[in-house]
A and B are shown apart, each in its own frame.
Chain A
Amino acid sequence: MQRVQGFAQRVKASLQVYAVGARIAMLERLQYPLASLMFMVNVLIEPIIYLVVWSSATAAQGGAVGGYTAGQFAGYYIIWTFVRQFNLAVGPDSFNWRIKNGSLAGELLRPIHPIDIDLGWNLGFKVMQVVYWIPIGVILWLMFKPEVNPQGWQLLSFPIVLMLAAYVRFFVMWLVGLICFWTERIDSLIELYFAAELLFSGRLVPLEIMPVWAQKIAGYLPFQWTFYFPIELLLGRVTMSEFWMGVLAQVAWILAAYVGIRLVWVRAVRRFTAVGA
């Protein structure tokens, strides 16, 4: 009984930390509106380039490329910009500077797992990014006239899939970041990680346009569940069976990454406390 109560209290405490952490992230974003705007511009340049390129390509091909019309490409990349705001995660290299500037030592002194603070902070960060995205999304919508035709169930399930996509990306990147406890030189590894994400997530092009071998590789990686799957769902291009398979894959990746974090974190802290900051 006492254990259950303890667990309930811990959940309540964690939820409080998420709420306060989210509020602090929002305050931070409001503190630097110009920096937030520049960040948004930086995030949007990438899909706009893709959008322009693929719009030209579809026009040159007589209206469609790989089964996507110009309007569907527009829909794909505009939804992309929204999904991107939502699946922003704590970068794997953040552990590098947290170790170097001593903030990790401070976090380890607190009676809570640092991931709880990150989860809360990341949530607030996303909320502000989405708020900043709204006017830009409206402008893009009016400019490129996307073809987006979701059915009712696809529209209703999109927020859940989006949330799961965000947590897949958050937990996987947190796990990758733990490598920093063993080596400071993870820049190349992080670049490799993001290159793989770019190719196999549907971030660069819809996976359907990629060669079959690339699609097969993507099937073994978590990336497509963070971009391609939610985008395709809102475009109305996902069947019910594909939907359930996708949700299962998202949950499986979250669980796998979470278990990975639990296992690696203990060793990471042991290593950190052996050699110091």
Chain B
Amino acid sequence: MSCCAPGVEGSLDLERSGQGMPSAEELKLSARPLGEGLFQTDLSVPGVYCGACITTVEGALKKLPMVARARVNLSSKRVSVVWKDAVEGQQSDPTDIVRQIASTGYESHLFSMAGENGDEVRNQLLRAVAVAGFASANIMLLSVSVWSGAEAATRDMFHWISAGIAAPALIYAGRFFFLSAWKALRHGQTNMDVPISIGVFLSYFVSLWETLHHAEHAWFDATVMLLFFLLIGRTLDHMMRDRARSAITGLARLSPRGATVIASDGSRDYRPIEEIRPGDRLSVAAGDRIAVDGKVLFGVSDMDASVVNGESTPVSIKPGDLVQAGMLNLTGSLTVEATAAARDSFLAEMIGLMEAAEGGRARYRRIADRASQYYAPAVHLLAFLSFIGWGFIGGDWKHAMLIAVAVLIITCPCALGLAVPVVQVVAAGRLFQNGIMVKDGSAMERLAEIDSVYFDKTGTLTLGRPRLINRGEAGEAALTLAAGLAGHSRHPLSQALYRTVEGPVAAFDSVSEVPGAGVEARTETGLYRLGSRLFACGEAHDNASSRDQASSEVVLSLDGKELATFRFEDSLRPGAEQVVAGLQEHGIATGILSGDRAPVVQALAGKLGIADWNASLSPRDKAARLSEARERGRKTLMVGDGINDAPALSSAHVSMAPATAADVGRQAADFVFLREGLDAVPLALDVSRKAGQLIRQNFALAIGYNIIAVPIAILGYATPLIAALAMSSSSIIVVVNALRLNRIARVAQPEPQALKPSAPIGQGARLAS
């Protein structure tokens, strides 16, 4: 008996697997190389909220020799760390960064959104907004002078200066609209940008013509202001657009590039995955992922099958068992006979499911697009009719042209263009403050429509961390003993047991792990064993009974005699019961789709009062359930976290994942919630529904404005002054209405705990687990 506890490194590893921290592999793959051995990693740290947080996190990170720079962004609650690949010849381990942040008490998650940092289009749009704003302010200055009574030569000069300012501004700031309109026209289609571009061009050249002829009215200010408002709407809209994202790459990453094939003469050969044929014998070492589906020939081991069933508890594997591509071999080495080629294996099937699901999602049409589909032709028609009408009735075609331009300007969809994005940006900001990230604006539109919610079990309704439930019954003495043994094992239950004991634990020499069974230690008192009942007590009878139980157990024995039985249960996510009850109260159907065994799922469903539960589902089954629901006309929200949930997340109407989810799950989901509690689901639903109401109100306001303004324009009373007033006031009303969401959402969610930063994990998690 030497030291009192296993090494520090081991315990940190335990912490990592308990908290769902990203692995070194994941961190390395997501890091952005900056050249010269420097890498940048962006982590989401949902707990930061004040100045002291910045100093704490940055200070701690800068203490690490491998960290070159660290900067916390408080607005987006991220920290970006630039780290060196190697320090003094030693390869550095990126998980140190995550551990260092965890040691300050803040939780961190890997959060990579493709192309978000270098969002060049956003910056281009912002620059265009600035230029348009500058031009419109200066032209307005001159226009106000004209409206106040500047006459003759002065007026002409002001008009000419306006024209001079407007021309470059229109070209620079308007290019987004012109290009998009041109693209649509070339394909024989029309979109919102076509009337905008025609309106801008026509009004500019008509104004120029009028200026040439010393006329009283010019529309330069209206033209540029129009672009200014539209660009604001476009910029906000761009920020809420779905960035091209796909979870498929993350899934493909799970597939090993090859496997070691054992030839008939016993020689070993590493072959690429495409060349592995059914019937080949593969050697799988502990820590390897299974490359293709197969049957175990020799060896016993524990297998992390979370790819298939989403469970954190490993499955024991013995000869004759079937394994599937993507599973991770944890403890023993195995010889596996391939039963399928890589393209027919489980992972390939998952990728196929994801492709189908992601293709299907692209079909959703955003509310703004649906509105503009009717709006654009209506506007064209109105302007054209007023041109023809005034031309034939009045006979003055030049005057008719001016009227048509006034109609185009007045009807230009400033308020309409702002109606949706402003609300969505405000709503997304509101959700972000409460720890929910929104991937794109249309997700909120879809969430507002749902009528049923399906939850995954492990990691979603529960935290995915086993918790000892019979501490008093087992006794502290046995617990200290067991924890000493458990510290030597990587099995999640052992780790949970080890974490339960806070004081010193018993120390053992010569501890060995028996793959697929447990750990044993030979001491002077006898042979201690910790593991399954079969392994610890040598009893063969209870295999079936323990499988039917809702909880999992670990037995401690001395020379085959049972000393204690430890029962574990996964702890419920905080607020799960209230959330499910609340959803049902609002008439939303709830269900569970789990890959776990039926008794466990049934027990949980009973506790939460969910009648519609399904157990032992494969990823394909889950996706199929959601497609079925869609065909029955239901709009479903899927909340899940595992790799096995990814196809379901993609095929649901809208989806949500916790930040602790597997990378693939986070990528596939529309919403990611960063806090522990499940109350993110009703909050997101609530805010999305309120946002939906405000969007409809905004449409009503924008249309109401048109009903008043268009007749004025058609009758020929719309002077540039009236146009300027009408356009800006309607836009401002829409924006102010959108800002009301802040107030509504605050009234709806008074719970102070939702606004508090999440508890520091170090100590808190230890107590909880």
Instruction: State whether these chains interact.
Output: no
